Chains A and B, each alone.
Chain A
């Protein structure tokens, strides 16, 4: 491999890292110290495009996290580039501040791999940096019972599975909206049936979620239950199509960037919606 920047004594680590990622992720060809984006002020030691159109970037260093990567990560996040960045460092060379460095890498979404001549050990995986700019959930603003689920959703999202992360939030919205429907019905907060109109026979706990919301929108009496506004119910109805969407595979890099941007927004607005719903339903003691 024709390295021009990488120090001589780290070149064997670079070559071993390429072998490791070939075995682990099926990457057959790496570009050496080539740019991944013309506007980005960084060239990784090794770079390749993954099958799901992420740039796999591998930085080879003596340290598990060279501090110069701070600026690189910030630049990539700001540009929302679909990059998975790993640091490969030589096995058996644990620096004194190893733990702090690995923690810093994890916080910044950078994966760390310890490379031995014949194998590699993943200390932790990389997060697609295009997802890293997602607004973190302010868990303190939610009641205690939601916080574990929110933490899990955030962790799943940042681990590189944004759709399942979103689904965990939608799950909470669904559960709460069903409970609101049941409670308002039980408290007789629904409007009276019109002449000839039949009472809805939908199972509010198990029936299709979209139908439950439709029923709630049609029957909740705003005079009797002013806390749940129609606009809020409309917002919830608007997210039902995404409830079970696992996402289609991106067909190219541009599509990947577009999808990542959309899903970040979706995650953030789902969290906002859940918080609004939680606050609105407080008088109902659901």
Chain B
């Protein structure tokens, strides 16, 4: 992406001569946030110039749509703007992505909706489909962010519409969030990969899980991570047949939660693995210790550990 800084000029331009950029990925302008900006501009004016490019007789926004909208509302005659020459379509889009990658983050869905257009334009430029690294370099966004966007891009249209509608609400009022869909989609992918037979119809399962979330049967979006753990039962040598059974039950409209499914299937196995990992880690650290490194507190704690381990082993010996 190349933009000549020699051609950029700072000017006061008429608010009425500016048009919004049809390529702007940003679709959501939440009212409370706009109101805050409106008050700030009313008090202090526009402190950071917007960026525009010159079309034959008017100007088109590259950055600063919210500032421009507020100036319109406040009946301001002019607005400070950095005026550039008209960029080609790809540069136009990438300029907007880069500005936002370095500053305030857009809603992921709005990026996701615009990414196919960026990919198409880059494909034309490069002569091949851009990979994640190339996309990250050109847009200034991280690869992790791309993967999250991809999950949203792959959602069926009606969920994207619903999410877009939800994004217009003030953040605290949003129930169906981007993070919810990302966590759910990630987990569903894992389930599909590890136990493909338990998902008969992915869309139906989505609907069931969303309904459970809305009814608070699933209480937290991070619960979906445990759904993925159930699907990976084999990794902790847990019973995969049991894991399949609980997942099938989970994917039916009932009161069965992820928390219960986790407890009924792989919970113990994961706790055991976690404990084993910690004990191994402790043993490794103990090997590195020398007697001179032990202070009073440490000695006391090691004795306590010894007492407890000893008690536990004696009890297990009796049971055996």
Is B a genuine binding partner of A?
Answer: yes
Q: Which A residues contact B (CB, under 8 angstroms)?
A: 4-5, 7-10, 33, 35, 38, 40-43, 61-62, 66-68, 71
Across the two chains, which residue of chain B brings its CB closest to A40? B75
The answer to whether A9 touches B168, judged by C-beta atoms less than 8 angstroms apart, is yes
The answer to whether B168 touches A4, judged by C-beta atoms less than 8 angstroms apart, is no
Chain B residues whose CB sits within 8 angstroms of the CB of A62 once the complex forms = 31
The answer to whether A43 touches B72, judged by C-beta atoms less than 8 angstroms apart, is yes
Across the two chains, which residue of chain B brings its CB closest to A71? B42
Task: Offer 6 A-B interface pairs, CB within 8 angstroms, sorted by A.
Answer: A4-B69, A5-B70, A41-B76, A42-B73, A68-B38, A71-B39
Across the two chains, which residue of chain A brings its CB closest to B35? A68
The answer to whether A33 touches B72, judged by C-beta atoms less than 8 angstroms apart, is yes
The answer to whether B29 touches A7, judged by C-beta atoms less than 8 angstroms apart, is yes
Residue B143, interface by CB 8 Å = no
Across the two chains, which residue of chain B brings its CB closest to A39? B75
Q: How far is the CB of A109 from chain B (nearest CB, A)?
A: 20
Chain B residues whose CB sits within 8 angstroms of the CB of A40 once the complex forms = 75
The answer to whether A35 touches B168, judged by C-beta atoms less than 8 angstroms apart, is no
Q: Which 6 A-B pairs have the closest CB atoms?
A: A9-B168, A5-B73, A5-B69, A35-B75, A41-B74, A43-B75
CA distance in complex: A7, B65 (Å): 12
Across the two chains, which residue of chain A brings its CB closest to B18? A4
Chain A residues whose CB sits within 8 angstroms of the CB of B168 once the complex forms = 7-9
Across the two chains, which residue of chain B brings its CB closest to A44? B73
Across the two chains, which residue of chain B brings its CB closest to A33? B72
Binding site of A, secondary structure by majority: helix, strand, loop or mixed? loop
CA distance in complex: A35, B74 (Å): 9
Chain A residues whose CB sits within 8 angstroms of the CB of B42 once the complex forms = 41, 68, 71
Chain A residues whose CB sits within 8 angstroms of the CB of B29 once the complex forms = 7-8
- Residue picked from A35, A38, A68, most chain B C-beta under 10 Å: A68
Chain B residues whose CB sits within 8 angstroms of the CB of A61 once the complex forms = 31
Chain A residues whose CB sits within 8 angstroms of the CB of B39 once the complex forms = 67-68, 71
Name 14 extra pairs, CB < 8 A, besides A7-B29, A8-B29: A4-B20, A7-B30, A9-B165, A33-B72, A35-B75, A40-B75, A41-B42, A42-B73, A42-B74, A42-B75, A67-B35, A67-B39, A68-B38, A71-B39
CA distance in complex: A5, B31 (Å): 10
Chain A residues whose CB sits within 8 angstroms of the CB of B76 once the complex forms = 41
The answer to whether B30 touches A41, judged by C-beta atoms less than 8 angstroms apart, is no
Chain B residues whose CB sits within 8 angstroms of the CB of A43 once the complex forms = 72-75
Across the two chains, which residue of chain A brings its CB closest to B41? A41
The answer to whether A33 touches B27, judged by C-beta atoms less than 8 angstroms apart, is no
Q: How far is the CB of A62 from chain B (nearest CB, A)?
A: 5
CA distance in complex: A35, B39 (Å): 18
Q: Which B residues contact A (CB, under 8 angstroms)?
A: 20, 27, 29-31, 34-35, 38-39, 42, 69-70, 72-76, 165, 168
- Residue picked from B30, B42, B76, most chain A C-beta under 10 Å: B42
Q: How far is the CB of B171 from chain A (nearest CB, A)?
A: 13
Chain A residues whose CB sits within 8 angstroms of the CB of B35 once the complex forms = 66-68
The answer to whether A10 touches B31, judged by C-beta atoms less than 8 angstroms apart, is yes
CA distance in complex: A9, B38 (Å): 19
CA distance in complex: A10, B75 (Å): 20
Chain B residues whose CB sits within 8 angstroms of the CB of A41 once the complex forms = 42, 74-76
Chain B residues whose CB sits within 8 angstroms of the CB of A8 once the complex forms = 27, 29, 168
CA distance in complex: A4, B61 (Å): 13
CA distance in complex: A35, B76 (Å): 10
Chain A residues whose CB sits within 8 angstroms of the CB of B74 once the complex forms = 41-43
The answer to whether B72 touches A5, judged by C-beta atoms less than 8 angstroms apart, is yes
Q: How far is the CB of A110 from chain B (nearest CB, A)?
A: 16
Chain A residues whose CB sits within 8 angstroms of the CB of B165 once the complex forms = 9
The answer to whether B75 touches A4, judged by C-beta atoms less than 8 angstroms apart, is no
Chain B residues whose CB sits within 8 angstroms of the CB of A66 once the complex forms = 31, 35
CA distance in complex: A71, B70 (Å): 14
The answer to whether A7 touches B73, judged by C-beta atoms less than 8 angstroms apart, is no
CA distance in complex: A124, B75 (Å): 27
Chain B residues whose CB sits within 8 angstroms of the CB of A4 once the complex forms = 20, 69, 72
Chain B residues whose CB sits within 8 angstroms of the CB of A67 once the complex forms = 35, 39
Q: How far is the CB of A44 from chain B (nearest CB, A)?
A: 9
Chain B residues whose CB sits within 8 angstroms of the CB of A68 once the complex forms = 35, 38-39, 42
Chain B residues whose CB sits within 8 angstroms of the CB of A38 once the complex forms = 75
CA distance in complex: A5, B67 (Å): 10
CA distance in complex: A166, B251 (Å): 72
The answer to whether B34 touches A7, judged by C-beta atoms less than 8 angstroms apart, is yes
Chain B residues whose CB sits within 8 angstroms of the CB of A9 once the complex forms = 165, 168
- Residue picked from A4, A33, A61, most chain B C-beta under 10 Å: A4
Chain A residues whose CB sits within 8 angstroms of the CB of B30 once the complex forms = 7
Q: How far is the CB of B306 from chain A (nearest CB, A)?
A: 57
CA distance in complex: A67, B20 (Å): 26
Chain B residues whose CB sits within 8 angstroms of the CB of A71 once the complex forms = 39, 42
CA distance in complex: A5, B34 (Å): 9
Across the two chains, which residue of chain B brings its CB closest to A34? B75
- Residue picked from A5, A35, A40, most chain B C-beta under 10 Å: A5
CA distance in complex: A62, B31 (Å): 8
CA distance in complex: A68, B72 (Å): 14
